Amino acid sequence: MRMIVIGGDAAGMSAASQARRRLGRDELEILAFERGDFTSYSACGIPYWVGSLVDGPDELIARDPATFRKDGIDVRTGHEVTGIDLGARTVTVRNSDRTFTEGFDLLMYAAGAQPVRPPWADNPASGIFGMQTLGDGAALNAWLSSFEGGGRGGGGEGRDAVVIGGGYIGVEMAEALVRRGLRVTLVERSGQPMSTVDPDMGALVADAVRGLGIELRTGVTVQALETSDDRVRAVVTDDGTIPADVVVLGLGVRPNTALADAAGIPLGVTGGLATDLRQRVTGPDGVVDGVWAAGDCTEVTHLVSGKTMHVPLGTHANKQGRVAGINIGGGYATFPGVIGTAVTKICDLEVARTGLSSREAEAAGFRFVTATIESTNRAGYFPGAVPMTVKVLAEKDTGLLLGAQIVGRAEAAKRIDAFAVAVWNRMTVTEMTALDLGYAPPFAPVWDPVLIAARKVADKI
């Protein structure tokens, strides 16, 4: 048996590793193609690399090709799969030298996501960067270093950067460029950065972004890029032109499934590959024989709204890849879905969410109430106690916990995990008020902020 893996990042290589742990080389040959230069890396670490907080790129690579090869996984970087023939069970592969075909019995599709690029972003001028792959990070770092002078993290100091898109990556990249000494403008089409949290929580994020010295422009739509001498010079918006020596695009991603589509593999409602709980690709006619998928190219079920969504996060990619690999290897594992947990940090502001935001709860048809509380990370009298804001959503009448959001300066973000496990288990906020969470003055007030928030929203049920 031979498995071909398309894509050498978290999902594909987790699947390969798990399958290899269960099946010997004589039972399963594993051949993985990665069009980029790196395998199994932390894309989430790129902003910290650009921001000179961590070294790169080696530090961001969990496992390199040589290590995989030692374990009997033949992974080839710089190899792009350009076609799949499901009938003939072959893929067409291109590298810098040639194009060739390889046969497979099993196909693991883990091609990831590709950046959303509006027409105006399709510009050959230099100084324009996506921020999705380790290669993107390397290219931006090289560009910054190419400027004369050079500040804390190399060159670029005093230049103008415009980051387009105020989601997690956009905000993290804006901070990274500030760290490198650039003047940074963050442009976001909606009314707030991080529109995955409610507007009142987003306002706290906006304050933190501005506190870093970032010029935050919300409600602004980009219309074009101005270039000259093959370099980007400015970003043209519906609210004026912003000078730019470098432009970073953080406009989100969509599933990279064109190859699957061309091969006649059915796509799901989001354009991602639909899978069953074991990560087998499914279509209108059931399971697509011998084709598995995991990671950013797939769609997932949101366990609170029941909706099918595209949620491109490394944490899901790793879990899905592991599940696929266990099943391919003859074991049994399932990936039931996601509940929308996400955390990030802007300077020292921690932002976290799980479940549904107000907008999502409305869209799903829930009738719900919310409560927001202010508390502290530690007992109020304990050194290092700083404020924390917690917002909770619960279904009206039933009290079912629908979601939670947390913003705070310390020991805030990971408190979302208590809510996440509660959402996962369909707890009511009333039941949550009795939860036996950890208490000691260095770690929490005697009523943890999680419990205070649950109490407040429970009072409204």
Residues taking part in catalysis: 44
Q: Report the distance separating Cα 196 and Cα 187, nearest Å.
A: 16
**CB closer to its own copies, 178 vs 267:** 178
DSSP state of 274: P
Provide the 3-class DSSP secondary structure of residue 246: strand
**CB closer to its own copies, 38 vs 335:** 335
Q: Report the distance separating Cα 137 and Cα 173, nearest Å.
A: 10
| Contact partners, residue 327, CB within 8 Å, separation at least 6 | 278, 279, 280, 292, 333
Helix ranges (H only) for 71-167 are 134-146
Cross-strand partners of 391: 372, 405
Long-range contacts of 282-288 (CB under 8 A, 24+ apart): 288/86
Q: Report the distance separating Cα 243 and Cα 9, nearest Å.
A: 35
Which tokens is 169 given? 């990556």
Min dist. Cβ of residue 194 to its own copies (A): 13
| Contact partners, residue 286, CB within 8 Å, separation at least 6 | none
CA 328 to chain centre: 25
Residues that bind its own copies (CB under 8 A): 10, 42, 44-45, 48, 53-55, 59-60, 313-316, 318-319, 333-336, 338-345, 350, 352, 354, 379, 381-383, 411, 413-418, 420-422, 424-425, 427, 433-444, 446-448, 450
Q: Report the distance separating Cα 4 and Cα 434, nearest Å.
A: 50
In which order are the strands placed within the sheet that holds 90-94?
80-85, 90-94, 99-103
Tell me the pairing of strands 231-237 and 222-228.
antiparallel
- Residue 199 CA: distances (Å) to CA of 191, 217, 266: 8, 15, 37
Long-range contacts of 229-233 (CB under 8 A, 24+ apart): 230/124, 230/125, 230/126, 231/125, 231/126, 231/127, 232/123, 232/125, 232/126, 232/127, 232/128
Min dist. Cβ of residue 413 to its own copies (A): 5
